[in-house]
Structure 1
Amino acid sequence: MPGELSVRSEPAVARTTRMPPRLRAAVLPLLVCVVYAVLQLAAGPRWTLFPDSYRYARAAEQYLGASREEAHRTALAAYCASRASREAHEARLQPTNRKSERALRAAAERSCLDRWADARDITTADPRYQAIFAARPAYPLLAAPFVAAFGVLDGMWLLGLLTAAGGSLLVFGLLRRGAGVGRTAALTGQVAFLASPLGWWSDQALSEGLFTMCALGVLWGGLVLLRRRSLPKAAAVMVLAYGVGAFTRYSSVLVLAAFVAAVATGALLLPGRLRHRGTAVLAGVSAVAAASVAVSMKVLALPSAQVTLQDTFTHHFRLREVADPWGELLALAGRFWRDWAAQQAALPYFLALTALAAWALFRYGEGLGLLAAATALSGAFVVTNHPLIQEADRLGALMWIPVVLGLPLAVDRHWVWRRAGEPVAGLVG
């Protein structure tokens, strides 16, 4: 009958106009990245180059064929322009200032250029210090095509935006495909990543973004191994992530691989559902990665912890070397962590979020909690080896991994989102 025909024809029309499932699933996480990009455009001069950014830009210019002197001038011009914009913006907010922002920026840029024009590096030209950055080629190699296409400032800004967005998409994929949580919970993790220091430092013109993506690759591959799915592919992902990470920051990869190998070995030794071949593969791949980095450091004479400690305690080799850098480190680390604990007690949002995330990870994570804990401990270990107040937020960014991965699990298990048109349930037991 006509009425029946019209009713039956509606689903067919709906099917022809409905968005394909894969495209529909990609829209929301990509929309989050677009919103993040718009927010970064509004940030203005708050995004700036750091001294390490200058060295990465200089290396990128050299990879593109520039001489050492030409690369220095180009990187220095970008660094001074970036810092001058930041300084002028901040000075313009002072109530006693009467100069225009343009005049302030021009004066600051000229002062910066005059200061460093005849220097070989804006920090120190000491070969020991330069060797630390020469052993980290991955990020400047990745930055080179962006610098060639858009210049130092715009190119490195765009690369930072892409690494932050890429890291957030890896978090979404890890939670959605690896951990099996719902789309809303995975989006929660993506937003948490971008809103945390992980997103902030991934967006900067530094190697943090690339290394964070490598760490997330290790976690994703490790989670697949712990859940006994696609063992060869997961192992290959981990090898790739460890490899790229080693060319980005080999010392951090050594620490991360050692902690992952330790927690995987512990899971094998204890009774439970994680005693299986996938966990053994995870422990083996991570142990081999740590050993390979350690051997490479020895064979290639790469800067070791001893060198970086002297860099720390001699203010970039400007002062006389200390006789007992490890003893100095223990004393400084003790003072640092006491101060850190006092800061957290005064404003305990990180501790509160971490406690909630840890509860969710170890109750619902099915192995993800172990990997998140290993990553957070590696971040804390790196900070302990460089316990500097001004660098702790950057070096310890991986300590936020449990928050980014744990809160979505709590959302997935305790917050039920109904379909459109139905009421939204609150927290349920």
Structure 2
Amino acid sequence: MRTRTRAREAAARLRGPRGWVLLFAVVFALLQLGTVTGRDTPDTKNYLSYALSLGGADKRETAAVTIDYACAGRAARARREHRVDVLRFRAPSPDARVAKACRDGLWRTVDARLRAGQRGGHTLPFMPVRFMRIFEVRPGYPVFLVPFVTVLGATWGLWAAGVTVTVAGGVLVYLLLRRRRVPVPLALTGQALYYVLPCGTTAMRPMTEGLMTALTLVALWGCALALDGRARLGPAVVAGALLALFTVKHSQALFLGLCLAAAGALTALRRRARPGPARRAVTAVTAVACCAVAGTLLLARALHYPSEYDSLQDLLTGHYARPDRARPWSELLHLELSFWREWLRRQLWQPLFAALLAAGAWGALKARRGAGPGRERAFGAFVVAAACTGFLNQAAHPDITVWGERLIVLGWLLPVLGLPLLLDAPAPGARRPAAGIPGPRARSAAGEERSPEGTVTR
């Protein structure tokens, strides 16, 4: 009897909002079966070889698996392009030739560097030591990959890891919006937006961006808890997210700490006349973010991580393929001005991103005003802060070839979270019941009292 009761309760839960969240996640995962190979980028080889090394593989075994995976992806892309080539689609597919040329080239590079003594670290020597050092200090994502590639192999393991982290990001969006008391249909809209906008597409790539975005959403969850007065749990969640981000990409931990500290300070300043648990919690979040900034800088120096100067030289020398620039900072400034001028020109030409950013900012910062406890603009300030990290990351790497995708991807969190908030804006003059305060009850024909949520009381 108890088993049947539990089964009925589980079925009832699946017919509710949880079922829709699960359905969205399953549909997204099934759609990703259309592209299992060919999502990798040149940097994927470094993360995969790192994960295989952590799993116990030696250099030769790691090289064999990594090179086969990278070349299979390159061959898959060549095959897809060939199928739609209007001049050559009837010719034999070039995938076998492309795969062989890829394997020969990569093995030649790796063998030469291994024989030259470049054997340190967990990654394979696809590039000079100075460049590979950038990936050696990012163990978080390879650690995340280890169970997937160990159980499922490189191809399906990386695919499953991408699905897992992207689905988790969408679920976090749903939970965040529900935490801010957004209705279920609009919270599901936010989850769907996460999957279909570039944040979901980029998170599916075998790169750090998916895990970075998910951890950023976890930090926002901690900020939402703080705004609800959870003075211990909220700051602890933020601290945990920033610590995990340090292992994934320490520059992102620095950017997020800076932006959350600014948003927290502004929120605490606006609430200075309203002391209470929420203000104390927000102040604690601000302190945690400031400590994260200082800790990131100090720990990166203590561990001899590549500095901002090294990153700048990597950018300006084509991954150290040319001699170091004598005046890198002045060249960066010139490149920044040119980059953002071109970026704005492209936004005027195709203004979808700009329009969604504006609508998301409007929903996050204005639509919450006067909507009751826990629904004010403070959460919007943290959302804007998280989105700003995408622009900071792009400014640190003003490369026009990836201007609207990987580097700036966190900017898409603004429309993902802001649009549902905008659609949930109360009508002028409308009032919402405050959180935790029951609304008026209506009496049914049977004499039962029903709350606005449909709960029957007697």
- Whether the TM-score (by the shorter chain) exceeds 0.5 is yes
> Where do 1:85-96 residues align within 5 Å?
85-96=76-87
Q: SS of the residue aligned with 1:49?
A: coil
RMSD: 2.3
Which of residues 284, 294, 301 in structure 1 aligns to 2:297? 294
Residue 197 (structure 2) pairs with residue 196 (structure 1): yes
Distance 2:240 2:231 in 1: 14
Distance 1:197 1:145 in 2: 26
Residue 49 (structure 2) pairs with residue 37 (structure 1): no
Which of residues 383, 394, 410 in structure 2 aligns to 1:383? 394
1:401 partner amino acid: L
Residue 151 (structure 2) pairs with residue 154 (structure 1): no
Residue 335 (structure 2) pairs with residue 335 (structure 1): no
Distance 2:216 2:246 in 1: 11
Does the 8 A contact of 1:189 with 1:404 survive in 2?
A: yes
2:243 partner amino acid: G
Q: Deviations over 1:353-397 (max 9, x none)?
A: 221221111121521211111112211011011000223320101
Which of residues 376, 380, 387 in structure 2 aligns to 1:369? 380
Distance 2:386 2:71 in 1: 35
Q: Which runs of 5+ in 2 are unaligned?
A: 114-123, 369-374, 428-458
> Where do 1:15-414 residues align within 5 Å?
19-21=11-13, 24-43=16-35, 47-98=38-89, 103-120=93-110, 124-176=126-178, 178-228=179-229, 230-270=230-270, 276-363=279-366, 364=368, 366=376, 367-392=378-403, 393-413=405-425
More helix per residue: 1
Q: Deviations over 1:164-206 (max 9, x none)?
A: 1110000001111x21111001001001111111111111101
Does the 8 A contact of 1:48 with 1:83 survive in 2?
A: no
| Displacement over 6 Å in runs of 4+ | 15-18, 272-275
Distance 1:148 1:155 in 2: 8
Distance 2:154 2:401 in 1: 25
Does the 8 A contact of 1:268 with 1:274 survive in 2?
A: no
TM-score, with length taken from structure 1: 0.88
Distance 1:227 1:212 in 2: 23
Does the 8 A contact of 1:263 with 1:370 survive in 2?
A: yes
Deviation at 1:261, TM superposition (A): 0.5
Distance 1:390 1:26 in 2: 40
Does the 8 A contact of 1:226 with 1:279 survive in 2?
A: yes
Q: Deviations over 1:75-106 (max 9, x none)?
A: 011000111111111022112115566x4211
Does the 8 A contact of 1:92 with 1:100 survive in 2?
A: no
Deviation at 1:289, TM superposition (A): 1.1
Q: Which moved more, 1:378-387 or 1:18-27?
A: 18-27
Distance 2:29 2:319 in 1: 35
Percent identity of the aligned residues? 30
Q: SS of the residue aligned with 1:390?
A: helix
TM-score, with length taken from structure 2: 0.82
2:21 partner amino acid: P
Q: Which runs of 5+ in 1 are unaligned?
A: 1-12, 416-429
